Structure 1
Amino acid sequence: MAQFPDTPAFTGFNTPSRIEADIADLDMTGAVPRELDGAFYRVQPDPQHPPRLGDDISFNGDGMITMFRFHDGQVDFKQRWAQTDKWKLEHDAGHALFGAYRNPLTDDERVQGKIRGTANTNAFIYGGKLYALKEDSPALVMDPATLETEGYTWFNGAMTGQTFTAHPKVDPDTGDMIAFGYAAKGVLTKDMTYYVVSPDGELKQELWFELPYYAMMHDFAITPDYALFHVVPSTSNWERLEAGLPHFGFDTTLPVYLGVLPRRTDATAEDIRWFKRDNCFASHVMNAFQEGSMIHFDTPEAKNNMFPFFPDIHGAPFNGPESASFLTRWTVDMASNSDAFERTERLTNTMGEFPRIDERRTGLPYRYGWMLVIDPTKPVEMKGGSAGGLVMNTLGLIDHQTGAEQKWWCGPVSSLQEPCFIPRSADAPEGDGWIVQVCNRLEEHRSDLLLFDALEIEKGPIAEIRLPIRLRFGLHGNWATAAEIGLAA
């Protein structure tokens, strides 16, 4: 009999959902533009079974993929498990076999050596395939129309690394998918792989190199000439795992690096330049671009660790005020003979994370960026519980050209999940389109899908698509046109 723990990670709005469903023509207020023809995919960690060790963090839940199909002015809902090797083994056993987050020492001996990935971090469409991604394992392939799981891919056997990022990028010029894997030779290793994949699934390039130290390499950036890797000291070691401590801990004594890898087919590990700066926390990347010999890298930066569930490695208490992140531009000069950053510049005083852009500007100079904003001036009523820790209660838009910002607040008893940009058409101007995102209705224990005019978010949603169920806090998601996923009429 399933008995989930009576802890914050498993109660209130965070109660496991475990719902696979199909719902046609969701109820809505407002109107969905009839020209919207495609699907928005997102993923939530959603544990299939109670945790093996009695409690767990949300990052360790099994991947549940949601598909919102837009067509003819209506929205249909489909949700399925990402059936990873872990999911299948535990489904057959009827209970959890894998233990703590990224700690194979806590697993049942029957699954030692098996792939531990949960496919719970990103739902990414590329080359007509749906990739359900978690950065500690290979990419899981699913059918984008049916959400049936096909299995892990090593790109026709060419990929030799053990891991694949949850944040690949698509080069808008070449159409290639650019990716990487960390801990690529196994748990805690400093080894990294850089990948280039074609739309037909051919692995065109795999380059191996090492990080300055083992770290959570969650996101990265590209420009036309470079791949950029920011190394931030959420780190670990075998002593932590043997002691049963959380896998990652933040080390305030280590420097932060930005690795710059030339995107040439003949590049080697020796071609990487490592720029160094003082300690800080940064995870996701809004974008990066080149300006002459200068490379600009835009990331939400905090003075200290943002993850209380990955505590300070030296035992310091979590520092809430220092966990506030602000979009910051890191600039390095490839013409410099120094390993120091040229400068860092805070781009806004708005606190936020989960940055997104019009992905057609990936790696290029860009004007618009959207974020989840934490607005401490707005009232918060925690009726129904938090959906994911920090109360991200506002959608924000920054215009990098003018400095103007827009915000939309979701109210005192709601919170928001990551926004995603939908272009009006393939050749529409930058920012011309819509923003889609899930809204957590905390007190009602259910969810809405919100649709905004992307450049007029302060006017509020043009459509609220109402779900009769609750979606747990999700991480990342993406839009694909009907043609891209084989659903065009």
Structure 2
Amino acid sequence: MTLAGKFYNMHSFQGKQSPATRLEAELYDAEIIGEVPREINGALYRVGGDRYYPTLEDDVIINGDGLFSMLRFEDGHVDFKSRYVRTPRLMAERAARRRLYGKYRNKYTDDPEAPQVDRDNTGNTYAHWHAGRLFALREDSHPYMMDPETLETKEQWDFDGKLKSISVCAHPKLDPVTGEWWGFGLFADGSYIEPVLALQVADKEGNLIREEIFNSPFPGLSHDFAVTREHVIFDIMPLTVDEERMKKGGDFYNYDPSKPSAWGIMRRDGSVNDIRWFHLPNTFSGHIMNAFTEGDKVYVDATISPGNGFPFFPTTIGEISSLEEGIAQITRLEFDLSDEASIPKQYAVPGSVGEMPRNDGRFQMERYRWGYFRHDRGIASLDWDNHQVNLHELPPGVVAQEPMFVPRSADAPEGDGWIMSMVNFMAENRAEFWVLDAKNVQADPIARVLLPYRQSFSFHGSFVPLDQISNAVK
């Protein structure tokens, strides 16, 4: 088996749907091997795609219904709860007791009886906390608010009616200094013909204070982006949209190997009219770890592959991309804004094949030292001071999900805390939630929270301290 095949197979992320759990569960006082540090008091919220009814043959993983889960930590005890996000799409299928919706974001493949209200919103990509509210995010839609205690689905959120865009990105950036929510909307006007995006900013109270519309170089994928103390960086990948193709039953996205990715940089205190676009061939990014500005240089740390990072979508010439093209490494991109002819530099970190990068959120938007990611062989930390990858290697058939960093205390030094990750034991059809020492990731887990069944693949989550949950907006 090739390295690429091993990477995708081990992580059930070939793009095909893995077997669904179809289970909402509640477990009080989970069994624990080891001891959960009593400093960890809060809830880790996660969400991913878990289809409630069987979808199309060879459906892609990002088309599953949103299954939202919570691991609640309090004084060394852990409770678990999971609930589906009650979107109109899911509720229509439940009422019909069958599948109604077809391909990912392709309404032309739906059952004639499928309601089209909020058709694409599965709420399956990011469990996000801001200004006392918990959200289920999906990048083509408005967020759904979730009850942080019961995980019941509440109303959709459009910033009290102020939002003009039809979409809110699934990878918002929280400013640890100002408390602001920075995001964007892709295909913000609902059209796939013009590449319309919207910059969106909400203040620490959740009030929308900024929304600016602009066009990107072409209508492509923009899944993640970056913000520094001085700049905003938008990235457009060459997964392009063609509605005529969709009308014929084709995929929403096809990879165009003739196009470079586009990276647009603007000043935070500037205007979208001043965005400068860089074009990078053979550079595909799925996720961003962090970014920072130093003088005239902007640095973006991202997972970079040389070709189609979503190989479950075919190319525009009807071919299937090789898995090798989609193998991503943690890579630092360097943009020099002082040189009009500058070609961005790329520095891949040796031994960093992996995905789902995160960092200590208290150090977002500035130079930092520690990053964390799902390595192709386990769970890893990355010391940017020396480009050292520290790996907790997992045996074959044991699969880790996105790692999250939780600091020891609000004022602890960067990297002083724990890495937390869901770990599936595939052959045994069960899962454990692991707590690792972030400074000694190679060591055995400090705690293993035992869960009685395999957990579906969750994409992204957030850890929220208990005092914030108790003060949530009602």
Residue 365 of structure 2: aligned partner: 363
Q: d(CA) in 2 for partners of 1:312 and 1:152? A: 35
2:188 aligned with 1:184, yes or no?
A: yes
Cα distance per residue 1:9-57 (max 9 Å; x no partner): 99x9932212112111111111101121101111121112222x45522
Compute the TM-score of the two structures, normalised by the length of structure 1.
Answer: 0.90
Residue 434 of structure 2: aligned partner: 450
Residue 451 of structure 2: aligned partner: 467
2:275 aligned with 1:272, yes or no?
A: yes
Q: d(CA) in 1 for partners of 2:461 and 2:118? A: 27
From 19, 22, 25, the equivalent of 2:26 is: 22
Residue 43 of structure 2: aligned partner: 39
Aligned 8 A contact 2:285 2:305 in 1: yes
Residue 388 of structure 1: aligned partner: none
Residue 288 of structure 1: aligned partner: 291
Aligned 8 A contact 2:228 2:365 in 1: yes
Residue 320 of structure 1: aligned partner: 323
Aligned 8 A contact 1:84 1:151 in 2: no
Residue 6 of structure 2: aligned partner: none
Counterpart code for 2:340: N
Note the C-alpha offset of 1:342: 3.7
Counterpart code for 1:149: T
Residue 125 of structure 1: aligned partner: 129
Aligned 8 A contact 2:231 2:293 in 1: no
Cα distance per residue 1:248-304 (max 9 Å; x no partner): 11111112211012212xx43311111222232111001110111100011111111
From 460, 463, 467, the equivalent of 1:476 is: 460
Note the C-alpha offset of 1:96: 2.4
Counterpart code for 2:174: V
Residue 139 of structure 2: aligned partner: 135
Unaligned runs of 5+ in 1: 1-7, 375-392
2:213 aligned with 1:211, yes or no?
A: no
Aligned 8 A contact 2:17 2:58 in 1: no
Note the C-alpha offset of 1:199: 3.0
Change (3 A) 1:420 1:137: same
2:47 aligned with 1:48, yes or no?
A: no
Counterpart code for 1:347: V
Residue 336 of structure 1: aligned partner: 339
Residue 86 of structure 1: aligned partner: 89
2:356 aligned with 1:354, yes or no?
A: yes
Counterpart code for 1:27: E
Aligned residues: 458
From 373, 383, 392, the equivalent of 1:399 is: 383
Compute the TM-score of the two structures, normalised by the length of structure 2.
Answer: 0.93
Residue 8 of structure 2: aligned partner: none
Q: d(CA) in 1 for partners of 2:330 and 2:19? A: 32
Change (3 A) 1:258 1:482: same
Change (3 A) 1:487 1:461: farther
Describe the SS at the equivalent of 1:459: coil
Q: d(CA) in 1 for partners of 2:394 and 2:401? A: 11
Q: d(CA) in 2 for partners of 1:487 and 1:23? A: 24
Aligned 8 A contact 1:98 1:116 in 2: no
Identity of aligned residues (%): 37
Q: d(CA) in 2 for partners of 1:101 and 1:13? A: 12
2:307 aligned with 1:304, yes or no?
A: yes
Counterpart code for 2:250: L
